[in-house]
Structure 1
């Protein structure tokens, strides 16, 4: 039996061709063709064919473009059990072009059988050059129709089985691969790590967990479509730094895993991580928008105590967390001290969260005065934690942990709300002109919140505190980063009428060059410079330079950590406007503040 080269690779297709052969032998035909109707009710090019010789097969392959599309064929196929055409020249003029094409391929006569799928005309079988003496009996006609229907049933079954296979393949794909990026998912990634564990290579392998920093901000600012395009672009950049045999997977929304096998030493892995950070740091341009992000990477290296892929992925995740909490945009390799620190942080975080819910936090307030007149102008709010077992815990112990865990966001809002509410009460009880103000420290993590300015506005409305009575303090380290999102957040706060202070000024000299381009009202000189006034000429020079620069930019200056009369006198000589520190008072609780104010007529302190 001859076979169509194109369709002889499956058992069902071979069976279809055998049916065509049986029909051709029964009718004495030289060639047999199977066509199916398209949705437009036109005959598609044939799907199967059979011929009684190699030459006939070649002719069949050349005839695959012949379609009997004219409505005349459909009309007569539906009206009869079969259509026998003994002489093509006798066909009507309207289909003369079809007849000419058939004659060009040596077709003298035709026997055409309709193929039905149920009651629907699904196609036709065209038998060419049947025996001239052919006179079909009823049994033979039935056999031809049975063969045609058998073909339909086999192809329908094959189609259903094919769909099942494709559905199964799609299901397996979705179980193991990510739709957006086409990367393996977490399940398949763990299987690949397990395979690496089971390998016999003595070389090192490593797992990297890569997190796209600021992805959520991009999602909130530009929308889901651009955020997803960003991830796809980031994947393409990262993969440029990997070998073909390395595995990259998507582990979460903005988190990816990389398995690097068979490396000589950890320096190779560290080099790959460095290149990835450099690539991702390059700006992305997506639909005309320039999007800047960074990446953080945690690395786990295979060692003797690791027993499961989950443990290795967990260690890489811990290193990633440490990398993000220590500034982002860097990579770190896991070591056991990270696990110990994580456990300690989690304990503190859990205790702090409960304390926040149970109102075990309190605010203390440190007075801020005008140097020239000694007049009290307001207070800085400082949070204190009363631990149920350890008693009073100072901010140096828990603020950093709350920053790293993200708890600083709800903690910061609590401080801001309490401070605004308390200052509004004091303004009503101790009215002065201008009203007393309150300074509140703001975390970089809070500024990253897309709706932070709206939260501040809501708190001001709830407490009734005028925006002009609120000073928000951000550290100079935050300002030095000077991202577009930061400037936008500061501008939004200024539009509310809130004043902005740069805290710990002088510790990051890179900010001096662009201080005039930042929307700030005042700077606070870091206590490390103030404490050395009168002792080190370098400190005096720095303080003097800062004050002069600020005045040239029409920015006021507050000195922190003033503890002695000499410091107070020197700051006044240098024309610093405001000060705070133990020279005036340590931070006080609410009742001590009220006694402090009530015991001093006119709110004047330390004036010469």
Structure 2
């Protein structure tokens, strides 16, 4: 006799199969969440488990090699029977339902289990987001709320299947490809650049051809998104044909920006840049008629062994954010020579005081009290025009002056901090952060010098902070770990910049004596408009608070962002809503009089 339960189970399994997720490759959109869950709850195993008719299969698994287990021994099989509750087993050895379970008596030696049910859009419970520990533990209401929120995120992702256009695009996105052009997306392109450091020798050089297509936005407004996308695809195809003989890595690094990395030094084949410009300006035929593109092309050098990929991308952003006349009157093919000129004049600029340190305030969200600053380099050329900071860093790289510039930065910043401490005795927590190239943390000589400078300037412990980009942390290098420990013991704290972009490092952050996590500005920019950004931002803040770390949100520009961050428990904000980077004199007035969000600064 067929029962109601049989009918319901058949419908549930059918709903699972309709998602077409079983036995599919891993996807970053799910893997990231289990990595976060494992880190947030400090457990060895986190899974996205889909309960099939006779098995449970893991769409995402962290800390467990198996991809599936029989359903009859599955904890998740019990969880889906109570979909409105978190299913919790605090000690499996003492639970009569599981005390003789082979997953308890043998590997993975389950003692603790908590599972939040994943449901389809029709409400069928098809699996769980679950966490597992090898020792008993308590799972309180706060923990249950966090797990439930994370499961809700997974459930929302489940409906984005390859059966829908949105699902197809999402599949492309999570594979690291731009859904329109099939080039690398911005993050994946940067990873490709960074990976070159691992395989190229110290003298390897590349050229980056960056192309901005500002007309795409007006094209979308005038016609539609589809027309703009078709034009973009045609232009990509033209460029790829011209570069086919070179070999290249290509990415869409912004809504209207493309990048093509080709091998070679400063010498680009004569005529190539002109040819690319010509191909970009040829009209494109569409159903709406002939479209006349408008493009801007710039050329940059990239030295993967000596240069940070993020710095290169920042330089591209800075150049394209200014008018072409403001940046340079040179044609694109001569931009390299402009960069080399900067390198030659850097030493003179340092000696003549054309380079100065500016300070962007970090402000307590709750009290509006200044909690410190980030020290940033500013360089003006002879006619008073600003030189983009990434160009300054590249010039230092190209001229071999990066270490000298970094030490100069430290001395200037420590001098300002010493004066602030003497005048105001700012109460803790207070710190001034300096960006340090990660490779210098590997240098015992540099660390010795930094420690000596802190002592010479008589700075209190914890008032100076070194910022390092998350995706450049080297956690398994014993020299780096030892140097970091030495810095912390000497009173110099460590901050991780752009946290949230390098998911692979989430599992090792506990190994480093961190003081501060700085949330990547890309998440802050899309707060309230992107559920993924909201979720990741909330998760990072929770992670910081649970680990007794400072959570600093970078790039805060609106009161709406500030309100959301306050609700999420973030402690410190940094961004134009408070102030841009300012001179030491103006920064001193902030310490003396405070600063309000949205106040005008000079």
Which structure: larger Rg?
1
Same fold (TM over 0.5): no
**Normalising to structure 1: TM-score of the pair?**
0.44
